[in-house]
Amino acid sequence: MSGIKIIHQPDDKTLNELGVTAWPIWTKEPSEFLWFYEMEETCYLLEGKVTVTPKDGESVNIEAGDLVTFPQGMSCTWKIHDNVRKHYTFK
């Protein structure tokens, strides 16, 4: 199990309680790269489609409208299929 948590199409109440619209925005064009999570990250995809493959786990697909939490200490590969625009925060 990768430890990646995905909420597909969370409701406005959930997004408001988290304060998602106040989080910074990150954008990236289609590409593939390695990533290591030094801290837990929660993000909300506004645009795009991505496949994230943990080093020792199964790939997960995330896309616009998904609220995703990545665990601290996870190494993975990000493959961005369509331009990504996301709100994000670290804990």
Residue 85: give its domain's CATH number.
Answer: 2.60.120.10
User: What is the per-residue pLDDT for 90?
Assistant: 97
The tally of domains found in the chain comes to: 1
Question: Domain range for residue 9?
Answer: 5-90
Rounded Cα gap, residues 25 and 46, in angstroms: 9
Pairing of strands 66-70, 5-8: antiparallel
Q: Using the predicted structure, report yes or no on whether residue 1 has a pLDDT greater than 70.
A: no
User: What's residue 70's pLDDT?
Assistant: 97
- For residue 2, pLDDT over 90 is answered with no
pLDDT, tens only, 31-84 = 999 999 999 999 999 999 999 999 988 999 999 999 999 999 999 999 999 999
Task: Give Cα separations from 91 to 6, 23, 30, 43, 80 (angstroms).
Answer: 17, 12, 26, 11, 24
